[in-house]
Copies of this chain bind each other. A is one copy, B any other.
Amino acid sequence: MARHPEFRDFDVALPGGGSVRARLTGRADGPLVVVAGGISADRAPAGDAARRGWWDWAVGPGASVDVDRFAVLAIDWLPVAGEAADRPTTTQDQARAVAAALDALNRPVADAFVGASYGGCVGLAFAELFLERIGRLVAISAPHRAHPTATAWRGVQRRILELGVDAGREAEALSLARQLAMTTYRTTEELGLRFGGAPAPAALNAPHPVCDWLIARGEAHAAGADARRQIVLTDSLDRHAVEPERVTCPLTVVGFTDDRLVPIEDLRELAGRAANLCRFVEAPSVFGHDAFLKEREVVGRALRTALLPLAICSEIAA
């Protein structure tokens, strides 16, 4: 997609002090859709001239979240990069930041909240806290509470980061933590298909092809990342907790069966307990937890279906 949609960045003062940076993309007077992604995501799902967006196939002109029809609101996650990251930040805190961004836009209601991974958790927290301010929620690969296995893996990542900070080796620790995270985002099947049958290197402890891939991903992530902020964000995932019964808006749940971090059983429980389930899409994917970034057909169709009522309204209004 060559054309970058129009956008406007703005700072949002938070009720508890401080501020967060937000972006409104697309048709400012259209139905408003909040878009939120993983802990590495930011306010620019559609990207801009400087950088590709983290979800540019899903959010853009003519895309499933169509910025020619909708006003898309996204925020940078708390804590603000470069600022102190010394206390817990909950998914409820992020939800309050989104609500503050809506206030700043003078929009009482998010017509839809589309969240994947951490962003879906924030969407659930938003729906529970602000039931009058949300039209519908699409939660992709996002549970109502973290699974202990996911907490186990993220806990090891945090302790790697702590060791790195403490030993003055932050960049290496950021890379290692990301390498571990990558193994949890993907599936056994994918790594088998990509790297199976490769011969072992001759030298002791020389990296295998799968390790070369992980190291490259880790180093790319480490550049410019902040270990303290990373600790707060993964900690936030592990303290995430929402009561599904208190999510009363129309809800679409999308889950992938081989997601290591979010067992499909937990999404079945969320869907089963939610007050107003519209649709539960359960699909296989070799990409596991990263399916929301990779499975364009399944995710795109779920988004278009969930947003169809908004699209129809915007047609009528036009």
Contacts and interface: CB of A to CB of B under 8 A. Distances in A.
Interface string A163-201: 110011100110010011001000010011011101010
A214 B154 CA distance: 12
| Interchain residue pairs A-B with the least CB separation, the first 6 | A148-B195, A200-B239, A155-B211, A167-B167, A148-B191, A148-B210
A196 B152 contact: no
B152 A211 contact: yes
A205 B235 contact: yes
Contacts of A263: 188, 192
Given A160-B176, A205-B231, A153 B183 contact: yes
Among A88, A156, A172, A231, chain B packs the most CB atoms within 10 A around the CB of A156
Interface in A199-214: 200, 202-205, 207-211, 214
Interface string A122-134: 0000000000000
Contacts of A202: 88
A149 B258 CA distance: 14
A211 B151 contact: yes
Interface string A114-156: 0000000000000000000000000000000001110111011
Centre residue among A194, A196, A263 by max chain B CB count within 10 A: A196
27 contacts: A86-B204, A147-B188, A148-B196, A149-B192, A152-B211, A155-B179, A155-B210, A156-B179, A156-B180, A156-B183, A159-B211, A159-B215, A162-B205, A163-B167, A163-B172, A163-B173, A163-B176, A167-B167, A167-B168, A188-B260, A200-B238, A200-B239, A200-B241, A204-B232, A205-B231, A205-B232, A205-B235
Contact of A210 (B152, B158, B214): B152
Nearest to A164: B163
Given A88-B202, A151-B195, A152-B191, 15 more contacts: A148-B208, A149-B183, A152-B183, A152-B214, A155-B211, A155-B214, A156-B179, A159-B176, A159-B211, A160-B176, A162-B205, A163-B172, A167-B168, A204-B235, A205-B231
This chain: copies in complex:
2
A154 to B, nearest CB: 9
Interface of A: 86-88, 147-149, 151-153, 155-156, 158-160, 162-164, 167-169, 172-173, 176, 179-180, 183, 188, 191-192, 194-196, 198, 200, 202-205, 207-211, 214-215, 231-232, 235, 238-239, 241, 260, 263
A88 B202 CA distance: 8
Contacts of A151: 195, 208, 210-211
A129 to B, nearest CB: 18
Contact of A149 (B87, B148, B188, B239): B188
A258 to B, nearest CB: 11
Contacts of A158: 205
